Amino acid sequence: MKYYSTRSANINLEATEAILKGISEDGGLFVPESIPKLPIPIEEFVGKDYRDTAFLVMKQFFTDMTDEELRACVDAAYDAKFDTPEIAPIKEADGDDYLELFHGKTIAFKDMALSILPHLMTTSAKKHGLNNEIVILTATSGDTGKAALAGFADVPGTRIIVFYPKNGVSKIQELQMVTEAGKNTYVVGITGNFDDAQTGVKKMFTDKELGERLAKAGFQFSSANSINIGRLIPQVAYYVYGYAKMRQQGIIAAGEEINVVVPTGNFGNILAASYAKKMGLPVKKLICASNQNKVLFDFFTTGTYDKNRPFYLSASPSMDILISSNLERLIYAVAGSPEKTKELMEKLSKEGSYSISKEMQEGLGDFYAGYATEEDTFSRIRSLYESCSYVIDPHTAVASHVCKQYKTETGDKTKCLIASTASPYKFPKSVIKAIKAEDAEQDDFALTKLLSSLSGVKIPEAVANLENAKILHDTVCETEEMQRIVEEHLKK
């Protein structure tokens, strides 16, 4: 299986090379030459544990790794770091199934991929006799940052630098990052927003001169953002696993189709779901749920992607994104050529918008898009709590709202699997504001205790430990200073 750049036909690499590079030097993203089929019938996944499922799915994509290498990565990733042996359990509430992807170290779904990425990277580096230290540069809207820090902390041969929008993440999210103790970690707040952070990071990746200078000093950049196929592909596995769980629990019959609903920001998670569908998973609709930054909703309904609009800070900060990087892979799939993709992406970069043709739009029929306002989000948290005593986080609530909206609008009775992307404990203020507004003014730690008594779910260690953790990172810079900060840090 070769990996091509979305922007030129003459770059192609093995999976392990694409994992190491993160992003193609022409600014494109790596895509597999084709989406492989599941290696065994879906019914045979029923009853398999998470590791076996993940191994079988990833093996189809990472074909230049040996079984032993991949198995070692999977086993090192999906272990007791997760607080349940199921890794990704399913909870039924109000007729929908929530695939809880937040049982890892940092209680957000990013852990699912970021627990394995460092192992995929170091295995790839070994395979290619690479001696340079791998420097992970990451822009985060909140959850990627901590999950990447936790994944790479003290992994030999790696360093990680995380940029986050200083005023664009929750208190708990920020604390999780700035208290990170790994010796190879560096966390920096920027005065801009997530898109600024992401653009700054992308610029450094594609700066050839910078790359050469760093190579001389013994470093090589790589990315832990969801543009890395080493992050994208592991996410395909949990959709297969989730489907098999629904079968195992008798929620659906053999071969029955489901809809998958995903709260979407950078378009990585839902793209993984679309790969699962292409592999043969019985999925009918891929439901793309946006918050009030509904650039994707507008794109799917009009065919025009336009980031020239107000940017809102919402209660679902990990979805506060106007440039959904992974959409480029879908554009590539429907554009049919890297030249066309390149043209559209350059238009996006220069003018902030592009429109796709009618024919391309027809290629998007697997998707349905909806969005939730802030009010919709809060009211969904409250209504689900009141009807089922099930507490969801604001991101998951966006998906849950859009799921309801979809069913009302279409009358479709297909069972829905909702990607539950964060624990409510990561956003206690918003969650309490939704279900018990009169108490929402207390500090975050008092709120987590209240949340525990309301939901009956134990406070996860990831939050309990924060209260007394020491702040170890306090650098803040302007967007323009990001590169200087990186170069200075690497001199130390």
CB of 398 to ligand PLP, least distance (A): 8
Is the Cβ–Cβ distance between 190 and 477 less than 8 Å?
A: yes
Question: Nearest distance from residue 203's CB to ligand PLP, in Å?
Answer: 20
Distance CA 307, CA 351 (A): 9
Query: Could you tell me whether strands 283-290 and 258-263 are parallel, antiparallel, or unpaired per DSSP bridges?
Result: parallel
The 8-class DSSP code of residue 273 comes to H
Q: Which of 115, 138, 266, 291 binds ligand PLP (CB under 6 A)?
A: 266
Cβ 462 to ligand PLP, closest distance in Å?
Answer: 13
Binding-residue pattern over the window 126 to 165 for ligand PLP, x denoting contact by CB under 6 A:
-----------------x----------------------
For residues 130 and 220, the answer to whether their CB atoms sit within 8 Å is yes
Which residues have a Cβ under 8 Å from the Cβ of 2 and sit 6 or more positions away? Answer: 12, 13, 14, 32, 33
CA–CA dist 308, 48 (Å, integer): 46
Span near ligand PLP by CB under 6 A; candidates 43-51, 257-265, 343-351, 433-441: 257-265
Q: Residue 434 contacts by C-beta under 8 Å, 6 or more apart in sequence?
A: 377, 378, 379, 381, 382, 385, 394, 397
**Contact pick of 70, 108, 224, 273 for ligand PLP (by CB under 6 A):** 108
Nearest-angstrom CA–CA distance, 258 and 263: 17
Helices 482-491, 208-216: crossing angle, 10 deg rounding: 10
Using the contact rule CB under 6 A, the part of the chain among 107-115, 186-194, 346-354, 466-474 near ligand PLP is: 107-115
CB of 226 to ligand PLP, least distance (A): 5
Q: Which is nearer to ligand PLP, 20 or 148 (CB)?
A: 148
Q: Is 188 helix (H, G, I), strand (E, B) or coil?
A: strand
Per-residue binding string, ligand PLP, 202-241, x by CB under 6 A, is: ------------------------x---------------
Considering only 421, 430, 452, 455, the residue that binds ligand PLP (CB under 6 A) is 421
- 308-337 residues near ligand PLP, rule: CB under 6 A: 318-319
Asked if 277 is part of the footprint of ligand PLP (rule: CB under 6 A), the reply reads no
327-351 burial: b if 16+ Cβ within 10 Å, else e: bbbbbbbbbeebebbbebbeebeee
**One-letter amino acid for residue 31 of the chain:** V
- 268 touches ligand PLP (CB under 6 A): yes
Q: Which of 265, 338, 370, 428 binds ligand PLP (CB under 6 A)?
A: 265
CB 265 within 8 A of CB 143: no
Please give the DSSP secondary-structure letter assigned to residue 470.
P
Name the residue nearer to ligand PLP (CB basis): 109 or 371.
109
Considering only residues 55, 78, 267, 299, which one is a binding residue for ligand PLP as defined by CB under 6 A? 267
Residue from 27, 192, 263, 460 touching ligand PLP (CB under 6 A): that is 263
Binding site for ligand PLP (CB under 6 A): 108-110, 143, 226, 263-269, 318-319, 395, 421-422
